[in-house]
Structure 1
Amino acid sequence: MPSTTLTSAVTLDGVTFSWPDGTAALRDVSGAFGTGRTGLVGRNGSGKTTLLRLIAGALEPASGTISRFGRVDVLPQRLTLDTGRRVADVLGIAGALDAVRAVERGDVDERHFDTIGDDWDVEARAVAALDEVGLPAGALDRRVGELSGGEAVIAGLVGLRLRGADIALLDEPTNNLDRDARRRVHELVRTWRGTLIVVSHDTTLLDQLDDTAELYDHELSVFGGPYAEWKAWLDTEQAAAQQAETAARQAVRREKRDRQQVESAIATRSAMGKKAAAERSAPRIVLGAKKRAAQVTAGRLRVEANEKVDAARAAADLAGRRVRDDASVRIDLPDPRVGSGRRIATIGDGERSWVLQGPERVALIGPNGAGKTTLLERLVASASAGSAEAAVHNDANPGDARPETAESDDSAAEWRRCAHATAHTDRVGYLSQRVDGLDEAASVLENIRTAAPGVGDVELRNRLARFLVRGDTVLRPVSALSGGERFRVALARVLLAEPAPHLLVLDEPTNNLDLDTIDQLVAAVGAYRGAVLVVSHDDGFLERIDPALTLELRDGVMTEM
């Protein structure tokens, strides 16, 4: 694998870490991160976040060593939940800022001067840094809870810069951020100076970085290039590995056939020798010598043939180890049999509305706080309620699907004042951003059974196995699942429902998925023959599912993009 040639900033030597229950998170991991910007990728559960916490010193390895060439600082993953903190605290300047202000008010306590040191311009520098990334004036004294999620993350990144650590660690910094916030985070990362290690499934962000590191099967490897180049290299390498394995397996079969031919030739010679002995076609001493020679030759031929088979098997095993036998989610959606002219849902604002019709893909975008999730919840609720509007639209002329004038009856009065959505079918599958809707006390199997009541338990187990939910896990209550397991169960419950949904509603579906599972979801959505409505800030994901229509919701107004 091509690798970075930069000086190492973090070196790991035989690092092992296990959780208290004995589960190995990392096992004998060795490798190094360069002094540039590196994206760290790997499957969910591969240990990426654990590795960052070890590098940060929040965890200690059970064995092995971690060498850090400089001071380490971390962007907290749960930064937005600490709503009571001031932005000045997030930036790490609260002590110096408060001391400067106290002195300016006339308080000449010596402790203030010790706290300030030479940092008398701390407020001016912080305000300038916040202004540079578009945060509002007076943000220093605001609470995290008064900021949007994107603003809080951006303030955290500004704090990392101001504190000037040699090594900065970011864990999924763009999760749940809207487009504008993502763009600003991307720009901050693109212009970052110093060592940066970023765990992310945001491919646009990963392509801003210098190197790509992968944590796979307890091995850390580093590629000297951004994610797209690494992925292209990996695909090429795996194609070559599969071809080499196929050729090696063919060589094993060929050597086995050759060995059978050798055994057949030995058997033929033995039969001829026995016949000659029976007919006494030569003196006994000559026949004995020929028999002994034949036995020696047969033994040598058998050894040579077996050695060739063993060598071919060893080569095949070596080639096979290069091929990844990954346990990946395999999503095979049922056919809901939605006709191309069938109206599925209406979505719009007070001026215009659009109809999702047939097996159509529609993307809904907009800033955080615009009301996208609320709109989806209204849509799902209308399907459950079997609203009068839905019944009317089901019988309506399916032609002229987009755009149409907003409804004019009394029930639509509220729609004129805000965005609205109504389902025209009761078969709607909804995957919420919060991954709720599961019965916490019920088992995994019981939760899936409610979505597909006509399917037997054996088949349900088979289907759950495609989502990597196997064995006794299907009998555990949902409350006992890990975050990744919980998400896969929620996803399975939506996608495996019977009868199949006419409409799939997905709210930020890529937030909790690794890159390989996103690939599977893209393929599944592409093959799905029902309607799909997706809310996402992930432009790469939306581009891949290729929506026929993209609507932006902003300030209660819908705009076709």
Structure 2
Amino acid sequence: MINLQHITYFHPNKDLLVNDVNLSINRHDKVALIGNNGTGKSTLLKIMAGLLLPAQGSVKVDSTPYYVPQVFGQFNELTVAQALQIADKLRALRAILDGNVTESNLTLLDDDWTIEERCQEALSHWQLENLELTQPLKTLSGGQKTKVLLAGIAIHNPDVVLLDEPSNHLDTAGRQLLYDFITSTSATLVVVSHDRKLLNRLDVVFELTRRGITVYGGNYDFYLEQKALDNNALNQDVKSKEKALRKAREVERETAERKQKLDARGKKKQENAGVARIMMNTLRNNAERSTARLKGIHTEKIGAISEELSELRRELPDTDKMRFGFDNSSLHKGKILFSATDINFGYHDQLLWHEPLRFQITSGERITLKGLNGSGKTTLIKIILGELVPGQGSIYRADNQSVYIDQDYSLIDNTLTVYQQAQRFNSASLQEHEVKIRLNRFLFGKDDWDKSCTVLSGGEKMRLMLCCLTIGHRAPDIIILDEPTNNLDIQSIGILTAAINEYEGTLIVVSHDESFLDEVNAERVIELA
């Protein structure tokens, strides 16, 4: 059982992040916690895990949760055993086996005589058969770090498991193991994820917004159906309110015109009847007050309808998708951009690929680059970009403009502000207001223009990079995306998908997000063994 009542949390800079959130999760529930970037999903998980204290509200969790974070940098100086929180227990076991049977060692071991065997079984299950428990975590890849912490679930056997974007760094085989665990476990699960295949394996969706949490009693597909119904109803409300606003303005105009005609007719009658000037002034003043009073009534009514309409529009999803807006005229379909003939690459005299690679890339193709962690995907990308030369074989590279968007967002200069970063790509010499219009289109309003790029989340950096590409205007011949959906919320994935589907050049994607690959029509596969 997890129960959060009236949870409020502030950023360290005193900005309000979570306000008066309430949620209740029963034993054995499998819950997806979704919401746009910045709504506080990861913060709520940390509050449930006891790692953060709310400014207000109460937290009740029946047993100690097992928490797998999205970011692992804090564990880099730890060994695998320390990251799994079993180093003391292992040390006590070895001491006892060496004859040092003390009360302290027995207490630490807590009768867990099979801890070493269970560790090896859990690590083997997650494809980490040869991993030493004394190995530093910083020597592992992102996917291996994730698997280490996921292996800890079987080691500790917790009743409550909290997972923050657990599939981000996993390869296809690792993701399948994760999906199998989610389907089979009897533990209470709370999962923050944008992986739609994963989300469909959970029973309940909790959507976190600025207004609080809304519960949808079904998986992600059920949530999408309900949201579509809600959005249709909201759109109808908006249309109805727009109609009411037009009608109110019409009535205001007609009333003003009718009053003006009546006043003019009355004035003419009074002049013909020879009414005294002082009485004429009094009648004119009365007419003006009457007109002002009528205008005030209509202005108030129109203002109220306008405010209601603004509120409804704020509730609408961001359907105005961000577009690249490239000039694609220089792209020629079918042109050979790159070809490789029997290439291979070696590190420390060890060849990466069992068989030399032979392939070509032509303009307009959509390619998925697949392979397990460590199979050489990044190396091949660097060869395609011209940053590395293969140790064997030959390559042809046409003169082309390529853009590589890596997982570290290295196109973003963290010493710059958002606006300065955008200007760096302004090769088309756009005016300042035009650059800011592009930034607005990618959800960077005027409050964001002077922000340092260092404070941007992963999803925000991805959006800024897409915006920078649009400012460059000319379409690159090749865009290479390395795990592009890892740090994006579901809304931003939709935006990225729409932008990519407008692009007519060559796309190479490294991704384990099968839904994204389907949606961008990446049909051809280059698979590395």
- Matched residue type, 1:456: L
1:133–1:534 CA distance, 2 compared to 1 (3 A): closer
Q: Give the distance between the partners of 2:71 and 2:450, measured in 1 at CA.
A: 31
TM-score (norm 1): 0.77
- Deviation, structure 1 residue 246: 0.1
- Deviation, structure 1 residue 161: 3.9
Q: Give the distance between the partners of 2:58 and 2:241, measured in 1 at CA.
A: 39
Q: What per-residue deviation string (whole Å, max 9, x for no partner) do you get for residues 24-67 of structure 1? A: 22223233334311111112222111222222222222222333
> Which residue in 2 is equivalent to 1:378?
383
Q: Give the distance between the partners of 1:193 and 1:219, measured in 2 at CA.
A: 28
> Which residue in 1 is equivalent to 2:520?
545
- Matched residue type, 2:478: L
Which structure 2 residues correspond to residues 383-462 of structure 1 after superposition, within 5 A? 414-416=391-393, 423-458=397-432, 459-462=434-437
Return 538-547 or 494-503, whichever deviates more.
494-503
- Deviation, structure 1 residue 362: 1.2
Q: Give the distance between the partners of 1:377 and 1:352, measured in 2 at CA.
A: 14
- Matched residue type, 2:155: L
- Deviation, structure 1 residue 326: 7.7
Alignment partner of 1:71 is 2:45: no
1:315–1:485 CA distance, 2 compared to 1 (3 A): closer
- Matched residue type, 1:9: I
Q: What per-residue deviation string (whole Å, max 9, x for no partner) do you get for residues 160-193 of structure 1? A: 3432333221111111221111111222222222
Equivalent of 1:52 in 28, 45, 49: 45
Q: Give the distance between the partners of 2:321 and 2:23, measured in 1 at CA.
A: 25
Equivalent of 1:95 in 72, 77, 88: 88
Q: Which blocks of at least 5 consecutive residues in structure 2 are unaligned?
A: 274-290, 344-355
Q: Give the distance between the partners of 2:313 and 2:474, measured in 1 at CA.
A: 41
> Which residue in 2 is equivalent to 1:18?
10
Judge conservation of contact 1:331–1:521 (CA < 8 Å) in 2: no
Equivalent of 1:357 in 362, 375, 389: 362
1:69–1:250 CA distance, 2 compared to 1 (3 A): same
Q: Secondary structure in 2 aligned to 1:511?
A: coil
> Which residue in 1 is equivalent to 2:201?
208
Q: Give the distance between the partners of 2:305 and 2:138, measured in 1 at CA.
A: 64
Over the matched positions of the two proteins, sequence identity in percent amounts to 30
TM-score (norm 2): 0.81
Judge conservation of contact 2:146–2:166 (CA < 8 Å) in 1: yes
- Matched residue type, 1:16: T
- Deviation, structure 1 residue 131: 4.2
- Deviation, structure 1 residue 138: 7.0
Alignment partner of 1:500 is 2:492: no
Q: Give the distance between the partners of 1:504 and 1:250, measured in 2 at CA.
A: 44
Alignment partner of 1:513 is 2:506: no
Q: Give the distance between the partners of 2:249 and 2:419, measured in 1 at CA.
A: 46
Q: What per-residue deviation string (whole Å, max 9, x for no partner) do you get for residues 50-105 of structure 1? A: 22222222222222233323322311334476355444434433333333333333
Q: What per-residue deviation string (whole Å, max 9, x for no partner) do you get for residues 312-341 of structure 1? A: 668756755653468975543442531223
Q: Give the distance between the partners of 1:352 and 1:553, measured in 2 at CA.
A: 9
Q: Give the distance between the partners of 1:43 and 1:348, measured in 2 at CA.
A: 45
- Matched residue type, 1:454: A
- Matched residue type, 1:452: N
- Deviation, structure 1 residue 533: 1.3
Q: Give the distance between the partners of 1:229 and 1:188, measured in 2 at CA.
A: 22
- Deviation, structure 1 residue 361: 1.1
Q: Which blocks of at least 5 consecutive residues in structure 1 are unaligned?
A: 1-7, 281-297, 386-410, 555-561
- Matched residue type, 2:238: E
Equivalent of 1:367 in 361, 364, 372: 372
> Which residue in 2 is equivalent to 1:559?
none
Quote the RMSD (CA, aligned, Å): 3.8
Return 107-116 or 221-230, whichever deviates more.
107-116
Alignment partner of 1:114 is 2:68: no
Alignment partner of 1:245 is 2:238: yes
Which structure 2 residues correspond to residues 260-279 of structure 1 after superposition, within 5 A? none
Judge conservation of contact 2:204–2:215 (CA < 8 Å) in 1: yes
1:160–1:317 CA distance, 2 compared to 1 (3 A): same
Return 328-337 or 230-239, whichever deviates more.
328-337
1:438–1:127 CA distance, 2 compared to 1 (3 A): closer
Q: Secondary structure in 1 aligned to 2:472?
A: coil
Q: Give the distance between the partners of 1:109 and 1:190, measured in 2 at CA.
A: 42
Q: Give the distance between the partners of 1:104 and 1:352, measured in 2 at CA.
A: 51
Return 448-457 or 370-379, whichever deviates more.
448-457
> Which residue in 2 is equivalent to 1:168?
161
Judge conservation of contact 1:90–1:159 (CA < 8 Å) in 2: no
- Matched residue type, 1:542: L
Return 447-456 or 31-40, whichever deviates more.
447-456
Q: Give the distance between the partners of 1:321 and 1:457, measured in 2 at CA.
A: 29
- Matched residue type, 2:496: L
1:196–1:473 CA distance, 2 compared to 1 (3 A): same
- Deviation, structure 1 residue 532: 1.2
Q: Give the distance between the partners of 1:553 and 1:154, measured in 2 at CA.
A: 21
- Deviation, structure 1 residue 374: 1.6
1:115–1:165 CA distance, 2 compared to 1 (3 A): same
Q: What per-residue deviation string (whole Å, max 9, x for no partner) do you get for residues 463-512 of structure 1? A: 22322334364455545655444443333334542433111121111122
- Matched residue type, 1:431: I
- Deviation, structure 1 residue 518: 1.2
- Deviation, structure 1 residue 513: 1.6
Q: Give the distance between the partners of 1:228 and 1:61, measured in 2 at CA.
A: 32
Q: What per-residue deviation string (whole Å, max 9, x for no partner) do you get for residues 195-244 of structure 1? A: 21111111111111111111112422221111222122212211221122
> Which residue in 2 is equivalent to 1:180?
173
Q: Give the distance between the partners of 1:38 and 1:455, measured in 2 at CA.
A: 49
1:65–1:126 CA distance, 2 compared to 1 (3 A): same
Return 468-477 or 188-197, whichever deviates more.
468-477
